[in-house]
Amino acid sequence: MAAVAAAAARVVVAAAGNYGRLTTSYFFLHRPFSATSISISRALRLNPNLNGLPRRRFTCRAVYNPEEVLIKEEGQPKNLDYRVFLVNHSGKKVSPWHDIPLRLGNGIFNFIVEIPKDTSAKMEVATDEPYTPIKQDTKKGKLRYHPYNINWNYGLLPQTWEDPSFANPDVDGALGDNDPVDVVEIGERQAKIGQILKVKPLAALAMIDEGELDWKIITISLDDPRASLVNDIDDVEKHFPGTLTAIRDWFRDYKIPDGKPASRFGLGNKAANKDYALKVINETNESWAKLINRSTPADNLSLV
């Protein structure tokens, strides 16, 4: 036990030393399994200087460097059994929702692409399947498509969750949609399904979809040629004029061809700035931590 405690102390120190940077020591300290949990507790008592560390940085269970994760397709595209998994180099499946770290440090985040720019297949993380692969959504047994192409790369922020029991006071008490937070990436390149991009948040849209709050975080990939020019909402208007309005209008209207009403938007029907987007990310990351720690009921969601 003493050896385990010492090892746990080294893990906590390593995590503290790498605070805010991507590392394979970005550890899964929330996992409540016996000796390890006891050892971590002892490690914290033996290292009192660690007690002041921001706890939410240790809700991450990821041990995967996104640059070492591979995309593995199972089945054929445009078929009901088609799945896009993430795997490590040994072939072990990795959850894009749970096992990829959210933060990279310095205001940079990982973004996982579900729907590539200029495509219409409604691809999404299967939150109720083991390892949460990306699949094409269905309705009445048929594959779903948007009525027209989406003009940006679209996907999710890992390790976030919009809690359906939380009534957001900023958005008329709307409840979360029970999914990871959505991302709209405005760069010029088309990404691939399952690709992990490094992005910086620029703005946030509070979409209310059939009564549920469905945040859209507007970002840009660091590898975009204009990434250095945009750091907040005003820069988007300057260097990507009309883009924020186009995004809002696309999501407002995309369900109308299916006979559904137009989506609404909170926060005065306008996009909020970068600071507000970061607030949304932090809050939904904390909600995810409660979900993964089972302090919030998971119901049919997969935590694997």
Give pLDDT tens digits for 172-214.
Answer: 999 999 999 999 999 999 999 999 999 999 999 999 999 999 9
**Among 42, 58, 74, residue at a domain's last position:** 58
**Count of other CB atoms within 10 angstroms of residue 256:** 12
**Among 32, 58, 84, residue at a domain's last position:** 58
Do 200 and 84 fall within a single domain? yes
Please report whether residue 297 resides in a domain: no
Do 9 and 120 fall within a single domain? no
Please report whether residue 217 resides in a domain: yes
Please report whether residue 150 resides in a domain: yes
Do 138 and 205 fall within a single domain? yes
Q: What is the reported pLDDT for 61?
A: 57
**Among 58, 80, 101, residue at a domain's last position:** 58
From CA 68, how far away is CA 89, in angstroms rounded? 7
Domain CATH for 166:
3.90.80.10
- The DSSP string of 113-126 is EEE-TTEEE-EEE-
Q: Packing angle between helix 34-46 and helix 2-17, nearest 10 degrees?
A: 70
Provide the CB-side half-sphere exposure for 76 (13 A, CA): 2
Do 31 and 162 fall within a single domain? no
Query: Could you tell me if 115 and 153 are in contact, meaning their C-beta atoms sit under 8 angstroms apart?
Result: yes
Please report whether residue 299 resides in a domain: no
From CA 264, how far away is CA 266, in angstroms rounded? 7
Do 210 and 105 fall within a single domain? yes
Q: What is the reported pLDDT for 6?
A: 44
Distances (CA, A) of 106 to 22, 220, 267, 269, 272: 10, 15, 27, 29, 20
Q: What is the reported pLDDT for 300?
A: 96
CA-wise closest residue to 110 among 53, 69, 152, 55: 69
Do 120 and 254 fall within a single domain? yes
Do 255 and 214 fall within a single domain? yes
Please report whether residue 281 resides in a domain: yes
Do 191 and 265 fall within a single domain? yes
Do 102 and 242 fall within a single domain? yes
Task: Give tens-digit pLDDT for 243-258.
Answer: 999 999 999 999 999 9
Backbone φ and ψ of 235, nearest 5°:
-65, -35
**Owning domain of residue 11:** 2-58
Strands (E), the chain: 70-74, 83-87, 93-94, 103-105, 108-115, 119-121, 123-125, 134-136, 138-139, 142-143, 145-150, 153-156, 167-168, 174-176, 182-185, 196-209, 212-221, 264-265
Do 50 and 183 fall within a single domain? no
Number of domains in the chain: 2
8: DSSP letter: H
Q: Is the pTM of this model over 0.85?
A: no
Please report whether residue 302 resides in a domain: no
Provide the CB-side half-sphere exposure for 112 (13 A, CA): 31
Please report whether residue 303 resides in a domain: no
Do 122 and 149 fall within a single domain? yes
Residues of the chain predicted below pLDDT 70: 1-63
From CA 179, how far away is CA 126, in angstroms rounded? 10
CA dihedral 269, 126, 114, 104 (to 10 degrees): 90
Please report whether residue 301 resides in a domain: no
From CA 102, how far away is CA 62, in angstroms rounded? 9
Do 201 and 236 fall within a single domain? yes
Residue 112, C-beta contacts closer than 8 angstroms, at least 6 positions apart = 96, 100, 125, 155, 156, 157, 158, 194, 195, 196
Angle at 289 between CA 285 and CA 293, to 5 degrees: 170
